[in-house]
Amino acid sequence: MHAPAPVTLSATQTDLSRRRVLQAASAVAVGAAAGLPSTRAWGQGSDKPEKEEVRIGFIPLTDCASVVMASVLGFDKKYGIKIIPTKEASWAGVRDKLVNGELDMAHVLWGLVYGVHLGVSGPKKDMAVLMNLNHNGQAITLSKKLADKGAVDGPSLAKLMATDKRDYTFAQTFPTGTHAMWLYYWLATYGINPMKDAKIITVPPPQMVANMRVGNMDGYCVGEPWGHRAIMDGIGITVTTTQDIWKDHPEKALGTTGEFAKKYPNTCRAAIMAILEASRWIDASLQNKLKMAETVADKAYVNTSVDAINQRILGRYQNGLGKTWDDPNHMKFFNDGQVTFPYLSDGMWFLTQHKRWGLLKEHPDYLGVAKQINQVELYKQAASALKVSVPKDPMRSSKMVDGVVWDGKEPAKYADGFKVHA
């Protein structure tokens, strides 16, 4: 069974520069409309960014929006930097370019950053999370063929897999990434061991729909718009959203190397501030969300139709079987600073799952690793300059789909406490 040939995703430079010219004019107008000061709020004297051009890699997903809008709306200029959003084809490509310095930063999976830091799924290098980029807004899709056989939720999928025995294939986007962990957690909740009862493959996000169309997998977990796109194309159903697995879960981070964060602290702060402003702008109104959908749908970014993006960012969901609902826990970018804060417990959770699924052989120093990676102080400085509220505690408590509470306490006990594991 062969996957279709991967599509070349990198946008041409000419396309991007043409866009930037068009956007410069609209950025000024939008900035004025949003009541933004036109002068630089930062970047004077010793706070001046050490590096003015910041190449930020992104994957074509709705949740790259705050990075894209920071550039398109000119928030970056306020802080003395120029963000160059760089479209990448796969998470492995993002990892390699971050590690070798071709990218300064990236819109990246939390679990990828943590994996690289510990040498899991690729080279080992000290890494840094500067901020969280979004909560919620990913989904697990099952093929229409499975749905036609009655697999429309976790219990019915488990039942079908037990009675209709064959090799079942599920796709995630990167071995240590968020989508792999949501997929595994959800399957395991219904007694399906992803390591024993199914074949797991890795597929880059924009290629999920094409792969399902040709029958390469029974289901996948990915970020929007590729869940909704499967419904629009009539090839899949949304069996669950990731916010139903963990409400307000961390998703993408603004990641860089530990070395970059140490060497260019002012640049990092400037990027955090520009993206914080963009995050706040997106969440501020319905109109802004729709403008964002229009912008990121463009072929330079996500390369899909606007209607594949604009429904779910407003919380308007359908499952592909006739059910529709309004989800208050849709994708959020700011939520009064709750989204963007890099909670230590969020990073630690991914480590517990890496241990659970055998990606880590030993228990790491969970809290120690999170403190090394998450640049909480740098984030707080940027947030306080923008008067963005910061949570009092870098740990938070969350209840998962299986009823188990994660609060960052006793991580080793938590990691070892699952009945279904590698």
Q: Phi/psi of residue 86, each to 5°?
A: -120, 115
- The pairing of strands 219-223 and 138-143 is antiparallel
Residue type, 192: I
Where does residue 119 fall: left (phi above 0), alpha (psi -120 to 50 degrees), or beta otherwise? Answer: left
Band (pLDDT 50/70/90 cuts) for residue 43 is low
> Quick check: 309 pLDDT over 80?
yes
Sequence-distant (≥ 6) Cβ neighbours of residue 50 within 8 angstroms: 263, 264, 265, 266, 267
> How much is the pLDDT for 22?
40
Band (pLDDT 50/70/90 cuts) for residue 36 is very low
Q: What is the pLDDT of residues 351-402, one digit of tens each?
A: 999 999 999 999 999 999 999 999 999 999 999 999 999 999 999 999 999 9
Q: Evaluate whether 296 touches 309 at the Cβ level (below 8 Å).
A: yes
Closest CA to 80 of 385, 412, 402: 385
Instruction: Give me the count of residues in the chain.
Output: 422
In sequence order, what are the beta bridge partners of 417? none
Q: Rg for the chain (alpha carbons), in Å? A: 20
Comparing 25 with 109, the larger pLDDT belongs to 109
Q: What is the pLDDT of residues 269-302, one digit of tens each?
A: 999 999 999 999 999 999 999 999 999 999 999 9
Q: How would you class 181 by CB atoms within 10 Å of its CB: exposed for 0-12, middle for 13-18, buried for 19 or more?
A: buried
> How much is the pLDDT for 121?
86
> How much is the pLDDT for 6?
36
> Quick check: 50 pLDDT over 70?
yes
SS3 call for 52 = coil
Span of 30-39, 119-128, 227-236 with lowest mean pLDDT: 30-39
The tokens describing 240, both together, are 């669950």
> How much is the pLDDT for 233?
97
Q: Evaluate whether 141 touches 212 at the Cβ level (below 8 Å).
A: yes
pTM, full prediction: 0.90
Closest CA to 222 of 294, 142, 153, 152: 142
Q: What is the pLDDT of residues 65-95, one digit of tens each?
A: 999 999 999 999 999 999 999 999 999 999 9
Q: What is the pLDDT of residues 125-171, one digit of tens each?
A: 999 999 999 999 999 999 999 999 999 999 999 999 999 999 999 99
In sequence order, what are the beta bridge partners of 268? none
> How much is the pLDDT for 45?
66
> How much is the pLDDT for 41?
53
> Quick check: 223 pLDDT over 50?
yes
Band (pLDDT 50/70/90 cuts) for residue 8 is very low
Closest CA to 328 of 229, 241, 208, 235: 241
Band (pLDDT 50/70/90 cuts) for residue 207 is very high
> How much is the pLDDT for 23?
44
- Proportion of the chain above pLDDT 90, given as a percent: 88
> Quick check: 227 pLDDT over 70?
yes
Sequence-distant (≥ 6) Cβ neighbours of residue 88 within 8 angstroms: 9, 10, 57, 58, 59, 94, 97, 103, 106
Mean predicted lDDT score pLDDT of the chain: 92
Q: Give CA–CA dist 328/316, Å, rounded.
A: 9
- Is-cis flag, bond preceding 225, omega within 30? yes
Where does residue 93 fall: left (phi above 0), alpha (psi -120 to 50 degrees), or beta otherwise? Answer: alpha
Closest CA to 223 of 242, 201, 237, 239: 242
Spacing of C-alpha 14 from chain mean position = 27
From residue 282, how far is each of 63, 74, 335 by CA, in Å? 11, 14, 10
Helix (H) or strand (E) holding 340, with range, is none
